[in-house]
Amino acid sequence: MKKLKIKSVITVALIAIFFVTESTAQRFNGLDEAPHDISYYRTSMISAPMVKVIYGRPQKNGEEVFGNTVAYDEIWRTGANEATEVKFYQDIVFGDVKVVAGTYVLYTIPGENEWEIILSSNLDVLGAFQYDPLFDIARVKVSSKKAEELEVFSIIFKEKNEHIQMVLGWDTTRVNIPITLSKNENYAKL
Cβ neighbours of 159 (radius 10 Å):
10
Does 19 reside within a domain?
no
Give the per-residue pLDDT at 108: 98
SS3 labels along 124-156 = CCECCCCCCHHHEEEEEEEEEEEEEEEEEEEEE
Domain range enclosing 64: 30-181
The structural domain count of the chain equals: 1
pLDDT block averages, 10 residues each, the chain of length 190: 64 62 61 84 88 95 92 96 94 95 98 97 92 96 96 93 90 96 55
Does 2 reside within a domain?
no
**The dihedral sign for the CA sequence 166, 179, 112, 73:** positive
Does 21 reside within a domain?
no
Does 127 reside within a domain?
yes
